[in-house]
Structure 1
Amino acid sequence: MSAAVQAQPHTRLLLSGNDAIARGVWEAGAKIASAYPGTPSTEILESLALYPDLYAEWSVNEKVALEVAIGGSMSGARSFCAMKHVGLNVASDALMTITVAGVVGGLVIAVADDVGMSSSQNEQDSRYWGRFAHLPILEPADSQEAYEMVKYAFELSEACNTPVLLRLTTRVCHVKAVVEIGERVVHDITGFASDPRRWVMTPANAKGQIPAQIARETKLLALAESSPLNRLEDGKDRRIGFVTSGPAYMHVRECFPDSPILKLGFTYPVPVGLVEKMASGVAHLVVVEETEPLMENDLKAAGLSRIHGKDLLPRLGELTPNVLVPAINGLVGEPLPKGSVYPKIDPFPRPPTMCPACPHMGVYYSLSRLRKQVQISGDIGCYTLGAGHPWNALDTTISMGASMGIALGMDKARSAETKDKGVVAVIGDSTFLHMGMQGLLDIVYNRGNVTTIILDNRTTGMTGGQNHPGTGKSLTGEDAPRIDFAKLVEALGVAPERIRTVDPYLLPVVFKTIKEEIAVTAPSVIITTRPCVLSEFYDRQPPFRVIDETCTGCGNCIKVGCPAITVKRTETRNRADGTSHELKFTTIDTAMCTGCRMCVESCGPKAIVPAQPTAVAQQ
């Protein structure tokens, strides 16, 4: 049991925003919690699973996760669901209907926006779901507020018969702060009460619920205007007043401590009356919001003048001090402090790469050798890194599960130049179960000439190694049924002879298998079978080293892409025809090497051999 669970009332703990939310959900008496892992929201469910008297699960995708939470709420249980911003797109169908039907037990949805796109394919502003789905939005600025707001969100949900969105950002999710915690309240499950007019969303029944949804917005607006989560902080420098929310508030308070600030925690519906009160006492009003001008546009539409926002501040990335100070100083005509008080820090560049012995490298090494013969559609996961150096083996990456649908479109839109090329879709095991099965079914149904490679590394790798139905383990680490991918794809219609299972460490076998399958004019699937090197299923082997005297500098081992292999020295030599070429003599970091043998298989002169016992002992 975690220290957080054992803590007595009013204990102070150092918690990240994600951990604080988990604590708040548990204290609120929630009984059901579901999620699909996605940075920056992943740790909420991992932390919540440590608490007793609560059911928590990794769902196969965000839509299913929300549906599980909805089912719990319908049954009278306080229910919670977590996802990152792009996950809410996946869950939106269920979301848009439950906002009409309403809730029984409180239903809270935590959605984490990746402001600055540190680990996402886009930067969307989830506050727009408040307007789109007619939902209240709460925005914490730190861990303490995250803890308090999620508890209040359950009360608000039940009081207004609505799901509540808790909008987070990466900074709130991952930054730690001291949080004063309490104890769990008892919230019994009342049980499901059959009411087809409410829960069976036929058009006739849904139409009957819309007036209540509209009336709810009036109530929510009144609550936003009077909510203690929205507070006006006075200041003596009245040249500029700020309206802000979330972690942007922290930056504004730090940079402009003498200015009035309207700090919003209940951000949708926008409390226009409170903003008008602020605006009446300042020369200029600046709306500081990450990332879209949602509040700014609403305030302008309400008739407020002298408003600044995205005319001064960017719509991309965090509004940190080094962004705020130049923009606001320019507005009031003040020079920047000498030397800049808030210098921009450029960290040492470190491009992302795969781990030593990552089983994905063998596939991408082979695809890179076939580059002129294939079009390659990628997906979202660790294997997205196959687009980078040294493989350069992806042509597209759009969204979770999109690789196969896009590959089918490529197949059906062949030109004279691409008619003889193979079309390959690459997808991971967790992603295939998340949203990929439908794409493969579509390929089979529409007779697509596509080879799908399922990279089964037995984990959800990119988000930190979470379990899924293909791992044989549940969220809590208990044994669970494990999906057989070969049987699954056969059930989806792929012919048994076109289902190939390969060891990705055997490079010649991988290369030969891919080449054979792209030559077949029928749907085919290749499944790789090595676990992630960071998972509990990986079996580390003794390391290898390079014999300097035998190495010819061909550089084949570098092309595998393993970060344990580095270039020790280079030489430029002339060929017999007078042209020059560069030789790359390599070395292997035995502390990083896990003995996968992929580099051994790529080495023509056999210069890579097991490390000496002394090297093994040094590990």
Structure 2
Amino acid sequence: MAPASSLIPAPAQSRLFMSGNDAVSRAVWEAGVRVAAAYPGTPSTEMLEVLSTYPDIYTEWSINEKVSLEVALGASMAGSRAFCAMKHVGLNVAADALMTLTLTGINGGLVIAVADDVGLSSSQNEQDSRNWGRFAHIPVFEPADSQEAYAMTLAAFELSERFQAPVLLRLTTRICHVKGLVVVGERQERPVSGFTKDAARWVMVPGNAGKRLPLMFEREKAMAQAAAESPLNVVEDGSDRRVGFVASGPAALHVREAFPDAPLFKLGFSYPVPIERIREFAAGVERVVVAEEVDPLLELELKAAGIAVVGKEILPRIGELAPHVLRPAVAGLLGETLPASAAPLAAPLPVFPRPPTMCVACPHLGVYYTLSQVKNITISGDIGCYTLGAGQPWNALDTCISMGASMGMALGLDKGRSPAEKDRKIVAVIGDSTFMHMGMQGLLDIVYNKGNVTVLLLDNRAVGMTGGQDNPGNGRDIHGEETVRVDFPALVKALGVREERVHVVNPYELPTLFKRLREETKIPEPSVIITNQPCVLVKDYHKQQPFMVEEDKCTGCGNCVEVGCPAIHVTRRAKVVKPNGREVDLSFVRIETAACTGCGLCVQPCAPTAIVPAPKAASVHVLKQH
């Protein structure tokens, strides 16, 4: 049986060097999709960014993942092929719609690409989206490289229309961002059938939904037969039959690299599980190891079917199953000692730690510098660039759970405080995109339930953490074209915050920001402080003349260091003893003038006024911070 990577379109037109995200986007376009929607989220973001450059397809940044799935479903109901993409935690947000559309089914083919962040490169948790296949009774495809990502996307649309069900295309960071050669074809236009009114199918009141349940289970049974016969599931033979492996996605490639002579059952169409084919494979080897990232879903299902397998007894439940993880685990299973040539390489030399930080002149710097100066405060945080406020030198974030959680958690911190904390100030920090994604409901809840919470709404006119994508806060769509721009002061007033308690502040003006924060936290009712300066990496930001330090004036007070700007470098530290006997640490600094954009944050707390504008000749080139 041919491996999945050989499932290329005919006639082949060209070979391109593509990431998995690129390859999925190309296949979506070629499949004749007419509507694609997403909310940015690493590692899935590039799929919609790439799709937005293709003709003949409507693309949008949706306000959140649930809306993106609903847009795609609506297009599918209208008879068009549709696509949406999200990271793993985004599918949690979209689950409400997902769990019902599995009952209604679809009309035009619908593929949902979900990117799991195995190894926690840029996420607050590590979850296995394969669970949704079982939970929602929908098929799951798992590519292992860019070519397979392309081929399986095309196959997913065909399967979706064959069974009138959405197909989950499960990717991981390694697939999304690693590049390889992909053989591609051209776009095939698809007829659009139009929307057919059928309340018994599309209106999911309990009476209608109950009648669709048996149809869903019948469909799942038919899909199981399709998985058993699918060419996406392949047996790769091997001469060393002491251990055979069952794996999918990148884990299958790790197995092949670590054990090139071992038999491998490589799953591409991984749910429903082709139980009998795996049972037949297991009969031909002495032992079977299930290598899956990250939950033991397949392992438990095979054990329940009476197939003797080994999995998480020897393999970790976190992170990628790279060869250096697989080899010692399997050697232990076989009672062997790894030869020196196969042992892990020596530990790398220690590298100077580089904790994540905000960009030079980031408008959030002033916010966290100010928060770090306020005493007796609890700060409820959220997901975005501003999550970095939890780190040095600010240490000004106390919670961070999920998108929009700062609002509800702040209210809970207020209502659940102990009598000893009655005077503690509760502040919620949230970005503009996160506020629109899932924070508006939380603010309404604070207002409705009379919470004593001060909200810092950081409007930097971009989805900053995922690459500065446009959103309703800056009034540009995915193509950069002008559209309606959200009026945040009007919006929060419409949610019930009193006009006197809504303030717009320039976050580079530290005295004003500090004054507003101090005043609003004293008021026992909901208030919102909106900062209004753009992300330094988007076109709305305009740099100014940079600054420098006059070294002979620098007293080492270190106030500028506490701002946290990475353009400020400590050149020398010293200790002095004051006349009162107190020992003081001094930090003498310089400013990387080429990186400085002239925001002036560091100038304001400088006690000896040692920070001055740099000569223009010294600021010809300004580095973009990433």
Q: TM-score range by the shorter chain?
A: over 0.9
Q: Which residue of 2 aligns with 1:10?
A: 13
Partners of 1:420 and 1:341 lie apart in 2 by 58
**Distance of 2:70 and 2:327 partners within structure 1:** 44
Residue 325 (structure 1) shift: 1.1
Q: Write the letter of the residue equivalent to 1:169.
A: T
1:253 aligns with 2:256: yes
1:508-544 per-residue CA deviation (whole Å, 9 max, x = no partner) reads: 1111110100000110000001000000100011110
SS at match of 2:239: coil
* C-alpha distance in 1 between matches for 2:494 and 2:384: 25
SS in 2 for 1:526: strand
Q: Secondary structure at the match of 2:604?
A: helix
Helix, strand or coil at the partner of 1:330: helix
Matching residue of 2:121? 118
1:399 corresponds in structure 2 to 402
| Partners of 2:550 and 2:612 within 8 A in 1 | yes
Contact between 2:143 and 2:149, CA under 8 Å: does it hold in 1?
yes
Q: What is the aligned partner in structure 1 of residue 333 from structure 2?
A: 331
Partner of 2:80: 77
Corresponding residue of 1:354: 358
Aligned to 1:544: 547
Write out aligned runs for 1:182-261 (5 A).
182-261=185-264
With over 3 angstroms needed to count, the CA separation of the structure-2 counterparts of 1:261 and 1:304, relative to structure 1, is: same
Give how far 1:577 is off: 2.4
Match for residue 68 of structure 1? 71
Output one character per residue of 1:124-181: Cα deviation in whole Å (capped at 9) or x when no partner: 1000000100010000000000000011101100101111000000000000000000
Q: State the match for 1:101 in structure 2.
A: 104
State whether residues 545 and 616 of structure 2, in contact with CA within 8 Å, keep that contact through their aligned partners in structure 1.
no
> What's 1:589 paired with?
592
2:389 corresponding residue in structure 1: 386
Matched with 1:148 is 151
Q: Distance in 2 between matches of 1:475 and 1:68?
A: 15
SS of residue in 2 equivalent to 1:602 = coil
Deviations 1:215-263 (A, max 9, x none): 0111111111110000001111000000000011111111101000000
Identity %: 61
Quote the offset at 1:579 in angstroms: 2.8
Partner of 1:297: 300
Partner SS state of residue 556, structure 1: coil
Q: Distance in 2 between matches of 1:606 and 1:131?
A: 64
Given that 2:21 and 2:44 are in contact with CA atoms closer than 8 Å, whether structure 1 keeps it comes out as yes
Deviations 1:530-570 (A, max 9, x none): 00000010001111011111111110000000000010001
1:73 and 1:302 map into 2 onto residues whose CA distance is: 36
Q: CA deviation at 1:283?
A: 1.0
C-alpha separation in 2, matches of 1:262 and 1:315: 20
Return the alpha-carbon distance in structure 1 between the equivalents of residues 342 and 267 of structure 2: 29
- Return the letter of the residue paired with 1:134: H
Unaligned runs of 5+ in 2: 1-10
- Deviating beyond 4 angstroms after TM superposition, the runs of 4 or more aligned structure 1 residues are 339-342, 344-347
Aligned 8 A contact 1:58 1:474 in 2: yes
Query: What's the offset of the Cα at 1:342?
Result: 4.3
The 2-side partners of 1:618 and 1:350 are apart by 24
Q: How does 1:423-462 map to 2 (within 5 A)?
A: 423-462=426-465
Give the match for residue 6 of structure 2.
none
8 Å CA contact 1:321, 1:342 repeated in 2: no
Is the Cα–Cα contact under 8 Å of residues 594 and 620 in structure 2 kept in the other structure? no
The one-letter code sitting in structure 2 at the alignment partner of 1:76 is G
Post-superposition Cα deviations, 1:549-596, rounded to whole Å, max 9, x if no partner, equal 111111000000000001000111111122312100011000110100
Question: For 1:198-229, what per-residue CA distance to the aligned partner results, in whole angstroms no more than 9, with x for missing partners?
Answer: 00001000111111101011111111111000
Q: Which runs of 5+ in 1 are unaligned?
A: 1-7
Match of 2:62 in 1: 59
Alpha-carbon distance in structure 2 between the residues aligned to 1:618 and 1:62 = 39
Which residue identity lines up with residue 159 of structure 1 in the other structure? R
Give me the whole-angstrom Cα distance separating, in 1, the residues matched to 2:511 and 2:569.
Answer: 23
Matched residue type, 1:217: E
Q: How many residues align?
A: 610
Q: Indicate how the Cα distance of structure 1 residues 342 and 183 shifts in structure 2: closer, same or farther if over 3 A, else same.
A: farther
The alignment yields a C-alpha RMSD, in angstroms, of: 1.1
User: Shift of residue 416 of structure 1?
Assistant: 2.5
Is 1:475 aligned to 2:478, yes or no? yes
Please say if 1:496 is aligned against 2:468: no
Q: Once the 2 structures are TM-superposed, how far is the Cα of residue 346 of structure 1 from its aligned partner?
A: 7.1
